[in-house]
Structure 1
Amino acid sequence: MIESELFYVLALQRVEGVGDIMAKKLITHCGSAEAVFKTKATQLAAIDGVGSITVKSLKDESVFDKAHKELDFISTNGIKTAYFQDEDYPDRLKHCIDGPVLLFTSGNIDLKNRKIISIVGTRQITSYGTEFCRKLIEDLAPLNPVIVSGFAYGVDIVSHQCAMEYNLQTIAVVAHGLNQIYPKAHKKYVAKVEENGGFMTEFWSSSNPDKENFVRRNRIVAGMAEATIVIESAERGGSLITANIANDYNRDVFAVPGRVTDKYSVGCNNLIKTQKANVLTSAADLVYILNWDLEKEVKPVQKQLFVTLDEDEQKVYDYLLKTGKELMDVIALHCDFPIYRISGLLLNMELKGVVRPLPGKLFEAI
């Protein structure tokens, strides 16, 4: 987007009573943000949903001073922008009616032809949640997904760290301007996040991490992803808001089940119980529900002539050769592995091209 149009988009964002939905409607009707300000009041008033108060606000020239100041910040600090009509704007977010008209980014974000998943959860992550998150991302790493989260304490930062550990792109969607970092304790991760992905926000440099901003931020986390995963959550929390938004956007939602006595499993268990989320016990569940085609996504696609299996994989492979098609639970039972372990083994074996999944969570040896 050229700088002159960016200036008018920024100005439009500062017009009182004009939010993202109204801004996109005005821009679409008039052809550009600049044209919105140059359109006659009578013509603006004829647009459906645009009242006299909004028309009057559009003639307030003080918004241009604010736009100039923010444009200076953007230029001086090398901030990148993604406009809702641009190719580099998150594709799935374009289909969200309340998606931001403009996003500000830093780092090396690349969303072209990529699988994108959001991982959210409690700020009080347990060892169970940490272990599950790490194993999930490790098993998904061959598919090279983009991992999105909110850079907060707990599940968020663990997700970013695990993504970087396995050389995956990770995007931190923050609830404030890019002139600051919240929480400050996470400043030490900024450089590596920008190297492996980057930061994204809809908020100006004048915006602080106020409480209401986090709820607005959550719709970006949910809207830009193919699926939202809730690792752990108490009965109430921001991650459940994100899950509900994802459902409203018709996105897949997954929740990690836990013991009914565990405080930070209550939210996940409730999502599953009310059928607002799929059960997630392993990466294999995600791959199956999202119908990700491993043969097309994993390089090289040619099957190896000689595949090396570890001792546990060989045990599973020998069992499937003997029995043919079998359910994951049955394989786990007969091979004496816990279900979380067998799902990881089967995914690794699938990537090696020695087993394939079938409908109904069946697997067979190739």
Structure 2
Amino acid sequence: MDSSELFYQSALTSVPGVGDILIRQLMSYCGSASEIFRSPLAKLVKIPGIGAVTARSILNPEVLREAERVQQRCEKLHIQQLFYTDKRYPARLKALYDAPAMLYWQGQADLNSQRIVALVGTRQATDYGRRTTEEIIQALTPYTPLILSGLAYGIDIIAHRASLANGLPTVGVMASGIDIIYPYVHKKTAQEMLLLGGLLTENRPGVKPDARLFPARNRIIAGMSDALVVVEAAAKGGALITAEYANNYHRDVFAVPGHLNQQFSQGCNKLIRENKAQIYTRPEDLIEALNWDQSGKKTPSVDKTLALPDFTEEESQILAIFRQQADWHLDELSWRSQIPLGKLASLLLNLEFKGIIRSLPGKKYQLN
């Protein structure tokens, strides 16, 4: 039986009653996945949130046997398992409290690309929605973002295909195992995406699409992106759920306005009316909000003479990160510094008062 750390990480996700948040709790107390499975029952039951029933489930030999089956399946299908401690795991996603502990991945794209934009919308896209999606992708092409969507009918598949046509990496986030393409008619596009982008899911191989898995999939799309664009949406549906997640995660949300009497513009118009999305009228709306450098010039170098002794230990920790590059997204800063978002926001405000950094649109900060 495989004794690698990844094997035990996979086993953790197989324990009944242990979800993503509880997995982090176990990891923080035990230090590693392998140590969790080596811990005696008496130690496990003392961990907050772990009762006797859950502790016995962890130590059940069937958990390791199931992990071995999953790992063998992944190796056969060339699927990579990305535990949340893996450096390849999407950093934007990792900073969120409800991020999946394990992701399954096939592809070539960098899941930590400098720029990531998600496009979502109705499965019954109109010609207006198709044209708008293709125009957005084409306009963003000079900035080479990674494009995310859900591989579904309508706006999703249009976004993926437009990305491929413009040479942009595109990742389909799935509500099934990677080996089960849904809908099946998109299999050819999915195969093409593997060459430049990829396929990503939190579901192990063999899991079939299910209604409850789609909202969970949508949180990954929202959490991984810098900005979410809703192109067309009815008054209710998955696109609005994704927008809700994006707002909760403090991502920039845009909605393309539509005809007042058009069914698949109702959702977008509602998002704009309720101030849950910025109105999208042109590519510059998105580019300016995300503070993308339109000149193509390199980021100015950081002043190496910054007097760190003048700052607190946590402020110095933040400024050390700014030495790596001059501007950062709030969530990325939180993940790299391991400082909770609430406390980090207060520290950044103090640094802003001192004139060291300044805030930018899109939850970004930059050294002055």
Which TM-score band (shorter chain)?
A: 0.7 to 0.9
Query: Counterparts of 1:261 and 1:146 in 2: how far apart (Å)?
Result: 33
Give a deviation string over 1:88-116, Cα, whole Å, max 9, x none.
Answer: 11110011111111111112121344200
Q: Is the 8 A contact 1:82 1:104 kept in 2?
A: yes
Q: Is the 8 A contact 2:180 2:206 kept in 1?
A: no
Deviation at 1:188, TM superposition (A): 1.6
Deviation at 1:12, TM superposition (A): 1.2
Query: Counterparts of 1:6 and 1:29 in 2: how far apart (Å)?
Result: 18
Q: Is the 8 A contact 2:119 2:159 kept in 1?
A: yes
Q: How do residues 173-188 of structure 1 correspond to structure 2 at under 5 angstroms?
A: 173-188=173-188
Query: Counterparts of 1:63 and 1:206 in 2: how far apart (Å)?
Result: 17
Query: Counterparts of 2:276 and 2:53 in 1: how far apart (Å)?
Result: 40
Corresponding residue of 2:293: 293
Q: Tell me, what secondary structure is at the counterpart of 1:211?
A: coil
Give a deviation string over 1:52-103, Cα, whole Å, max 9, x none.
Answer: 2221221221111111111101111211122211211111001111111111
Corresponding residue of 2:224: 224
Q: Tell me, what secondary structure is at the counterpart of 2:54?
A: helix
Stretch moving more, 104-113 or 166-175: 104-113
Corresponding residue of 1:198: 198
Query: Counterparts of 1:226 and 1:166 in 2: how far apart (Å)?
Result: 20
Query: Counterparts of 1:263 and 1:298 in 2: how far apart (Å)?
Result: 44
Give a deviation string over 1:96-146, Cα, whole Å, max 9, x none.
Answer: 111111111112121344200111110000000111111111111000000
Q: Tell me, what secondary structure is at the counterpart of 2:128?
A: helix
Letter in 2 for 1:184: Y
Corresponding residue of 1:142: 142
Corresponding residue of 1:68: 68
Q: Is the 8 A contact 1:143 1:298 kept in 2?
A: no
Give a deviation string over 1:138-188, Cα, whole Å, max 9, x none.
Answer: 111000000000000000000000111110000001111122211011112
Stretch moving more, 141-150 or 6-15: 6-15
Corresponding residue of 1:251: 251
Query: Counterparts of 1:111 and 1:14 in 2: how far apart (Å)?
Result: 24
Corresponding residue of 2:106: 106
Query: Counterparts of 1:91 and 1:37 in 2: how far apart (Å)?
Result: 26
Q: Which runs of 5+ in 1 are unaligned?
A: 300-358, 360-366
Corresponding residue of 2:90: 90
Radius of gyration: which is bigger?
Answer: 1
Letter in 2 for 1:238: G
Corresponding residue of 1:38: 38
Taking only aligned residues, the RMSD between alpha carbons, in angstroms, comes to: 1.7
Q: Tell me, what secondary structure is at the counterpart of 2:140?
A: helix
Q: Is the 8 A contact 2:116 2:224 kept in 1?
A: yes
Stretch moving more, 265-274 or 103-112: 103-112
Query: Counterparts of 1:162 and 1:53 in 2: how far apart (Å)?
Result: 50
Deviation at 1:216, TM superposition (A): 0.9
Percent identity for Structure 1 against Structure 2:
41
1:208 aligns with 2:208: yes
Stretch moving more, 69-78 or 50-59: 50-59
Count of aligned positions: 299
Q: TM-score, normalised by structure 2?
A: 0.78
Q: Is the 8 A contact 2:113 2:146 kept in 1?
A: no
Query: Counterparts of 1:231 and 1:245 in 2: how far apart (Å)?
Result: 16
* Cα distance change, pair 3–254 in 1 and its aligned pair in 2 (3 A): farther
Q: TM-score, normalised by structure 1?
A: 0.79
Corresponding residue of 1:50: 50
